[in-house]
Amino acid sequence: MIAKVYSAIPQGYDGHLVEVEGDVSRSLPTFNIVGMANKTVSEARERVRAALVNSGFRFPDKRVTINLAPAELAKDGTHLDLPIALAILVLSQQLLLGDLYERLFVGELSLNGQTKPVRGIINIVEAAVIAGFKEIYVPTANLPQATLVSKATVIGVSNLEALFLHLKGAKPLPVYKNSSLNTNFSTQTPSTPVSSHVVKNTYSGVEHEESLSTKAKHSEPSNIVKNTKTGENIINLLQYKSNVVKNNTTESSSNKNLSVVRNTETDFLSSPQSIVVRNTKIEVNQSPYLLDHIHGQALAKRALIIAIAGNHNLLFSGPPGSGKTMLAKVAQNLLPPPSPEEQIEIAKLHGLTQADSDVPTARPFRSPHHTASTTAIIGGGANALPGEISLAHRGILFLDEIPEYTRPVLESLRQPLEDGQITITRANSHATYPASFILIGTMNPCPCGYFGDPDHLCTCHPAQISNYQKRLSGPILDRIDLLVQVKKLSNQDLLPTVVKNNKTGTEHLNAQAQINIAHTRQAKRYHQSGKYNSSLSPPEISHFLQLSNSAEQLLQTAANKLDLSARGYFKTVKLAQTIADLDESDIITPEHIAEALTFREHPPK
């Protein structure tokens, strides 16, 4: 007989459906998995066998073959453990095909039958919703992220036995529904129809797919599942008879025994009869630094506020100990919380690199070491996984001492800084990831750090200074919106100010309020959240932004005198618009243009 269970795996920034097909035949007992499975998937044979037996189920003493279709798609990870186990339960007639109709399963199994979280759960749930699956079964630890997906009906599975009882209608599991209409799905995953000849399942009331030849071979499964090791009865469905409910989609939502919980941004709010589950969130260790802790540096702090308000790239240049790194750490605390759509984007990217079960409540702040490779920064590897620039999406990528990074790493930032995304192409994989981040870099003016400092003598040779500053090429500097000189302060003014300002935080709160106002104005102007001034194209600048006549004249004069490139010209306009948003002005004035030009007039020295 043939069993078919639907599952999915993450592939790039999307998800791809996988059909787990099973066949059993009379031959020497063997268990084979085919379909371009890598080492991790092949090892599922031992995990699944142990999980089934230790959960009290029978493992067939026959030749079992599992095929993962499509066969040309490389399978990686432990996502298919659970569907493989269900396929074997169908082959051994402990489950019917109807118990799995229009349902998608994913999850890793431990040896005792418990489920463990898997990577890329949001990609998988999105692919399942697009394909039209009515219910999606995921490990319980993946529930917080899985329920973020719009129009998804998700059920958490803690272990194999609990899933079996639920599928049989004996002991239903809570169902989490997200009925949000805001969809942000990729259209690259094709929809797979799940329909064929339909037969009624007498146990669950679910209509399922089954051929006539297969129906003839089916025998009515027993209500008792025995342990093959001891022969003892492990699961007796008759004891749950009073709790049996229909498993079909139309009846499950109305049954009083089934806890239906609706997902909101912060909580899962249930009906009075059902449980209340609090949505787990990531508690990010925010930087302890506030804007009040930085004495002086008015220009640098103003540039930091502008950069975060409009998502502009920023470069600090100055001698060691002038506060450049501290300013970047303060930026982490100035970032506003992400919108619900941005939460999904952040969780989706981070879920591809680790089996993370929490929902992000703060924007990412990535600070890779200067020895990081190009692959680590832009992404890649055998499976074309996202790199630091994508993991910093909707947040900050902080490159401390940016000239110390290798030239290939810095030049690889050209396209992401311009397009807000990165395309990774490998021999066996191809993926496009979003990479819309704020680049904050710091640098010294020379190798020793004291070139131009009146209090310290620079010991660098002129050739060394020139070579050091040339590590940042012209195209990279042209993509940075704000270039700021940070001067060193006298030591006697530092400690009293820190102690005093540590008690107030007023300046920091005022800056946060300004940034929130600017973000609100941008969302209203562009009719969407996540759209910022820095990402405007030239046609969008002409459509959305309005310059006064005097501001336009000043811009033209300055562009000619400063020899601004076309990119620099438009970046000045976008920077001026952010300054206007901070001033709550609907029109860009000459004052806004003048301030924007001060941040682009002098390169770092």
Rounded Cα gap, residues 288 and 332, in angstroms = 9
Rounded Cα gap, residues 339 and 514, in angstroms = 17
Rounded Cα gap, residues 47 and 50, in angstroms = 5
Contact, 590 vs 548, CB < 8 A?
Answer: yes
Rounded Cα gap, residues 270 and 275, in angstroms = 6
Contact, 237 vs 168, CB < 8 A?
Answer: yes
| pLDDT given for residue 430 in this prediction | 85
Q: Mark the ranges of the chain whose per-residue pLDDT is less than 50.
A: 181-222, 227-230, 232-233, 241-285, 498-499, 501-502, 603-605
Rounded Cα gap, residues 334 and 438, in angstroms = 13
Rounded Cα gap, residues 351 and 354, in angstroms = 5
Contact, 9 vs 75, CB < 8 A?
Answer: yes
pTM: 0.80
Rounded Cα gap, residues 406 and 411, in angstroms = 9
| pLDDT given for residue 153 in this prediction | 96
Complete domains list, the chain, with CATH: 2-278 (3.30.230.10), 291-535 (3.40.50.300)
Q: How far is C-alpha 334 from the chain's CA centre?
A: 21
Buried b (16+ CB within 10 A) or exposed e, 410-447: bebbeebbeeebbbbeeeebebbbbbbbbbbbbbbbbb
pLDDT single digits (tens) 568-598: 999 999 999 999 999 999 999 999 999 999 9
Residue 40, number of CB atoms within 10 A of its CB:
16
Rounded Cα gap, residues 404 and 118, in angstroms = 36
| pLDDT given for residue 285 in this prediction | 41
Rounded Cα gap, residues 150 and 91, in angstroms = 34
Single-letter amino acid code for the residue at 151: K
- Which residues, 6 or more positions from 470, have their beta carbon under 8 angstroms from its beta carbon? none
**Dihedral angle sign, alpha carbons of residues 383, 389, 394, 399:** positive
Cα separation values, 180 from 150, 253, 340, Å: 5, 17, 11
